[in-house]
Amino acid sequence: MIVHASTTHRQFDNRIYKNECLSLVKQGYKVSIIVPRADVDIENNVKFHQLNIGTTPWIRASVGVFLVFFKALQLRPTVLHIHDPELLLAAFLLKLATGCRIVYDAHENYGGMIRDASLSNYVKELLIGTLDMIYRIALPKFDLIVTVCPSMAERYKTYNDKILVLQNYPRMYVSKEASNEALQNNKFKILYSGTVISQSIILNALLVLRESVDIEYHIAGYYSDDFVKMVREKGLEHNVVFHGLLTRDELELLSKSCHCGIQLLEYNHNVGWDTGTMGNTKVFDYLGFGLPIIVTDFKIWQENILNKYECGIAVRPDGVNELVDAVTFYITHETIRETHASNALKAFEREFNYELIEQNLLNAYTLLLKK
């Protein structure tokens, strides 16, 4: 049996459930997932084990870890595939107790996330030192480390050279029929998909753009009450449309009525400053929807996506004028925008979909289970 475990991710997480677990089930493996909460017990032959814990980080990192350890001990998996750093020691102890194979799936640059957090320097250094100590104890004993991009793989090779890079590409989409009515009117629609963190630059750009064009900014994902308040305070309630969390099918239908997708991530430790990361899933979603993209001018995105496929525009994450110019360019250059849209879909089909890398996961598991 293969058991995936997380104290933070949702039941039907794209990477864990839709990509990795469904691939393993298709290959004939028996697969279960330990998750914080589950609405159903089984789906597509994947069995779910609910921890029934709250969303408080400290609860997840303490009580959740013990619950995962004892649930995994009860299930006795051949492979335990964990997705959170707080589960490292639990997985290490389980390996000592049962001899099962352990896979650590590092979705993020956790050291970088700590450095970017609103904590004192003392607390940051304490947490980073503790994480490094746990890495040095546990990771050399693990059977495989999975990361989302080569730069992360290089960092983890310090602890263990058994590395698999499995990018966060979405699966191929089945195109849905959608009315072109929304594209027939005079509104220019921008799509943002994902959790809203800091978007003051985008909102300030909207304030400028709405003076000359009828523009709508569609947000599909989680947003806080404070962000909604900020939108209202800026007088943008008629320009920002909130959709909440959408299913993949709902998001794709929404994308059919939008002119471009946007993803502006700030320079920080987590993304390697201006180098960037290939771990962000939303950019690849936009490509799969056939949307031209306006994105942060990360070197890795420019080299691997924009320069290679001519499917979007790169701007500085703090550049309001650059963003205004990019949106205005797409509004006034419809032919180029349509060419970029076509190129985006080509990029997705040729390079950035999960089906192209799925076999890498299956090959890694074949080798893992032969040990």
pLDDT digits (tens, 9 = 90+) for 264-295: 888 887 777 888 888 788 899 999 999 999 99
Q: Does residue 53 contact residue 64 with C-beta atoms inside 8 Å?
A: yes
The angle formed by the CA atoms of residues 240, 234 and 205, to the nearest 5 degrees, is: 65
pLDDT top residue among 264 and 340: 340
| pLDDT (mean) for 29-46 | 94
Residue type for position 322: E
Confidence of residue 23 (pLDDT cuts 50, 70, 90): very high
Question: CA 209: distance to chain centroid?
Answer: 29
| pLDDT at residue 96 greater than cutoff 90 | yes
| pLDDT (mean) for 177-193 | 69
Q: What is the pLDDT of residue 32?
A: 97
Q: What is the pLDDT of residue 205?
A: 81
Q: What is the pLDDT of residue 358?
A: 96
pLDDT top residue among 247 and 116: 247
**CB proximity list for 199: less than 8 A, separation 6 or greater:** 192, 227, 264
Q: What is the pLDDT of residue 55?
A: 62
Q: What is the pLDDT of residue 33?
A: 97
The C-alpha atoms of residue 103 and residue 289 are separated, in whole angstroms, by 32
The angle formed by the CA atoms of residues 111, 117 and 121, to the nearest 5 degrees, is: 80
The tens digit of pLDDT for each residue in 59-68 reads: 777 788 889 9
pLDDT top residue among 328 and 277: 328
Q: What is the pLDDT of residue 291?
A: 96
| pLDDT at residue 52 greater than cutoff 60 | yes
Instruction: Note the pTM of the prediction, 2 decimals.
Output: 0.87
Confidence of residue 175 (pLDDT cuts 50, 70, 90): low
Q: What percent of the chain has pLDDT over 90?
A: 56
Residue 364 burial (CB count, 10 A): 18
- Give the range among 24-28, 53-57, 218-222, 295-299 with minimum mean pLDDT: 53-57
**CB proximity list for 124: less than 8 A, separation 6 or greater:** 114, 115, 117
Helix boundaries (H) for the chain: 22-26, 57-75, 88-98, 110-116, 121-138, 150-156, 181-184, 200-209, 225-233, 248-255, 282-289, 299-301, 307-309, 320-332, 334-350, 358-370
| pLDDT (mean) for 62-86 | 92
| pLDDT at residue 174 greater than cutoff 60 | no
Going from the C-alpha of 234 to that of each of 111, 150, 189, 346, the distances in angstroms are 35, 41, 19, 38
The tens digit of pLDDT for each residue in 102-143 reads: 999 998 777 777 887 778 888 888 988 988 999 999 999 999
Q: List, in order of start, the domains of the chain with CATH numbers.
A: 2-169+354-370 (3.40.50.2000), 181-350 (3.40.50.2000)
Q: What is the pLDDT of residue 371?
A: 64
| pLDDT at residue 200 greater than cutoff 70 | no
Q: What is the pLDDT of residue 179?
A: 46
Going from the C-alpha of 212 to that of each of 205, 207, 331, the distances in angstroms are 12, 10, 11
| pLDDT at residue 237 greater than cutoff 60 | yes
Question: CA 193: distance to chain centroid?
Answer: 11
